[in-house]
Structure 1
Amino acid sequence: MSAKTPSLEGEPTVSDFSVLPSLPEGYRALVIGASGAIGNAFVEALRADPRCAQVIGLHRHSTPALDLVDDASVAQAAQQLKALGPFQVIVHAAGVLHTASGGPEKRLAQLNTTQMSEVFRINTIGPALVLAHFVPLLCRERAVMAFLSAKVGSIGDNRLGGWYSYRASKAGLNMLVKTAAIEVARSQPQAVLVALHPGTVTSALSAPFNGAEIGRPAEHAVADMLRVLDGLRPEQSGGFFAYDGQALPW
């Protein structure tokens, strides 16, 4: 049964199974960071949506390739995908908790320039470049662009301290999303740009710190986040939301 075929009373239609029913039939989606657990789950969920016409997953080894530490790579990927747009959904799911230069810093004495630079390059500067080059690919009508942030990036909610680089890099990401949303609203008033907290998800990123028994499957987190995105309206653009729809403090 197609989405345009009338259904019998009580019988579900294709649109009932859509993960983003607020978007038009045939919508197109991009997922940046598609090789990670959450990014891949976004790709799979969107591809399973019968109303989604196309899903493109981007990462360092995709075609086109997108490497967040390579400015030219981000620009070239956006340029190559321009002809396939516009896109109604763009999700940025890439990020790092720490790098080979060190784990999350628990104390001031553990801070070092190399570690901080690497974390900020992926979590803050990379997404800034994505905003600069991929916002023009958004549909001029309703469109959503989401960046995976983290609740620990909330300054107002910081009660435990520690994890300096990660917290600060995500707080910086939140500010970028907020600032970009103000600019984008002037020319694309139907666009929704937000930062999203996925909750604790079982993945390679979290396993060393949470243990395999803590967290939930990526597909569950993605299902929740897609429901949040579907319900957001233009007046909520620039916000910071958790997977359950709760607005988080800056």
Structure 2
Amino acid sequence: MLAAYAQDPGAYHQAQDDFGGPQGLLRSAAAAIEQSGPDDPGKSPGAAGDDETQALSQFASSTGLWLDPTGIRDFMATHAMRSGSEHKVAHFLSQNRVVKDLDVQAVATESLFDYRTDHLLSNYLFQDSIHLEGFYLYDGRLHIVVSQPFVEGVHPPWAALKEGLEARGLHHESPNSLIPSFTVGDSLNCHLCINDLHENNVILDTNGELHPIDAHFYFNTRAERVEALTNLGLWPTASPSE
């Protein structure tokens, strides 16, 4: 999509063909790092990060999804939007999508595996369309580039956010607080804890619908996360979907 692949301009479409579409490509990138790092969150995070970074770099090489650092950084600067704590953000006007650039050293989740599989869960639970675009190296550090649809709207106040998410079947964990954590599970094959759904991570569109744009999902262990993904049909043998 970004036409800035270092080796083959057609690498993005070829990778999607090879892995069964955007969802299959996301899942395959996550599978490439499933065995990297410890099962318990917070245990040896530095070593886990190094292992995951190496595994993702190997995945990038095997798929040809290395982006040209100069091209992608110029694109991000030219089309910059307000950045968050994790990502630099740009608007890809011709595709009506938002491009997000993550320096893996700035990831807010316990691991890169969590970051990758959070996208699978967001696509499933919130009907998002997060795509993996590619990777690049800058100053010796790995960057992951993803995109998702641009949503025209505003960030809602907390009361409207809470009411809207509860109307979608989510349950606020602390009803008398402003802690942005919710759970869902009544209609699923598993129980999900969703964190970080504060006002800046949710958009209220012009039709009055809420769109979580940067949700994080919490599990006690990696094994529990994989079990939930499997129960939802997202891991590892789910049918590819766009």
Give the shorter-chain TM-score range.
under 0.3
1 or 2, which has the higher strand percentage? 2
TM-score normalized by the length of structure 1? 0.25
More helix by share: 1
